[in-house]
């Protein structure tokens, strides 16, 4: 009986002190003091994994070592641009902002403009008449830059919204009253030349005066393609160059010719200017520098 009583008491004490299982439990009867050390209670549990979000990479990472999938949301991409760039080229002077969609694809939004005439020579020829050019460019654009091989080589495509003012001033051949513009086989003289210089049978006109034309591209949206290079100089800074073209379409010319017979020359000069492919395909040549965040 004594042994049974002792066993029952010990079991009750052990059950009520499970939380302190590591401490010894002493059970005493009338005759002997017996010390029983309780076995530690094994508690099985599964710890919750800790995760950290890397906002730059757009990846949710398990801090115990495992990586689970994740991508940036559109909002996170929009408010965290990957780069800013400054550029100069045939579209003008400007800048753009880039957003990385992945390692090989970057979305760009930018603007280039100003007086860019000197960047592409400042003059052009139309049917043997040379024109000096003044410009006021505005070329906002949206495009995609690709790194198809994952290195510095790039390919670009996008849309320009051109709003370019182009003023062309004709330069007469020769000088003084003998100066003239060769137009469709005829000679349009600035002043009044000697009588033997004028051939009315071929349509020569005298006293045309100065000729100026305002040109406007007809395309309101101009697609473009480029190839280029974008090497990194440091972790943050890089440079780039691009070559390509944008299709701006034909031009509409508004011609003003002063002088007594200037109006007679305007229609023919307008026709010749609009028939020319002057900047129908706008060459794109640009250089710039990039800062990456």
- pLDDT reported for residue 10: 47
Question: pLDDT per residue over 72-115, tens digit each?
Answer: 565 565 667 789 999 999 999 999 999 999 889 999 999 999 98
Model-wide pTM > 0.85? no
Tell me what percent of the residues of the chain surpass a pLDDT of 90.
Answer: 47
Instruction: For residues 175 and 247, give the distance between their C-alpha atoms in angstroms, rounded to a whole number.
Output: 37
Q: For residues 47-73, give the mean pLDDT.
A: 43
- pLDDT reported for residue 176: 66
- pLDDT reported for residue 196: 85
- pLDDT reported for residue 3: 41
Tell me what percent of the residues of the chain surpass a pLDDT of 70.
Answer: 71
Instruction: For residues 77 and 71, give the distance between their C-alpha atoms in angstroms, rounded to a whole number.
Output: 10
> Is the C-alpha dihedral spanning 138, 140, 145, 151 positive or negative?
positive
Asked if pLDDT for residue 151 goes beyond 80, the answer is yes
**Quick one: tokens of 131?**
């024109």
Q: Higher-confidence residue: 138 or 46?
A: 138
Q: Lowest-pLDDT range, 35-44, 186-195, 256-265?
A: 35-44
DSSP state of 202: G
Backbone angles phi, psi at 199, to 5 degrees: -120, 95
Q: How many CB atoms lie within 10 A of CB 126?
A: 20
Find, among 196, 184, 197, 107, the residue nearest to 143 by Cα.
107
Q: Which of 175-179, 262-266, 273-277 has the highest mean pLDDT?
A: 262-266
- pLDDT reported for residue 75: 58
DSSP state of 250: -
């Amino acid at each position: 009986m004594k042994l049974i009583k002792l066993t029952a008491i010990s079991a009750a004490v052990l059950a009520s002190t499970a939380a302190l299982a590591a401490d010894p439990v002493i059970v005493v009867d009338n005759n002997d003091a017996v010390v029983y050390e309780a076995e530690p209670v094994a508690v099985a549990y599964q710890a919750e994994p800790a995760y950290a979000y890397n906002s730059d990479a757009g990846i949710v990472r398990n801090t115990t070592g495992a990586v689970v999938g994740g991508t940036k949301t559109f909002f996170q991409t929009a408010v965290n641009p990957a780069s800013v760039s400054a550029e100069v080229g045939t579209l003008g002077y400007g800048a753009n902002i880039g957003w990385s969609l992945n390692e090989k694809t970057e979305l760009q939004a930018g603007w280039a403009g100003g007086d860019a005439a000197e960047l592409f020579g400042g003059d052009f020829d139309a049917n043997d008449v040379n024109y000096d050019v003044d410009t006021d460019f505005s070329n906002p654009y949206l495009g995609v830059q690709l790194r198809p091989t994952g290195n510095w080589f790039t390919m670009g495509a996008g849309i320009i919204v051109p709003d370019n003012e182009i003023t062309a001033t004709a330069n007469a051949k020769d000088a003084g009253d003998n100066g003239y513009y060769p137009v469709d086989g005829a000679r349009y003289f600035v002043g009044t030349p000697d009588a033997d210089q004028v051939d009315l049978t071929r349509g020569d006109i005298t006293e045309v005066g100065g000729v100026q034309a305002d040109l406007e591209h007809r395309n309101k949206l101009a697609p473009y393609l480029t190839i280029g290079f974008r090497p990194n100089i440091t972790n943050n800074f890089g440079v780039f160059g691009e070559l390509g073209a944008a299709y701006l379409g034909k031009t509409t010319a508004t011609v003003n010719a002063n002088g007594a017979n200037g109006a007679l020359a305007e229609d023919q000069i307008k026709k010749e200017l609009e028939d020319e492919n002057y900047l129908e395909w706008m060459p794109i040549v640009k250089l710039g520098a990039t800062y990456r965040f």
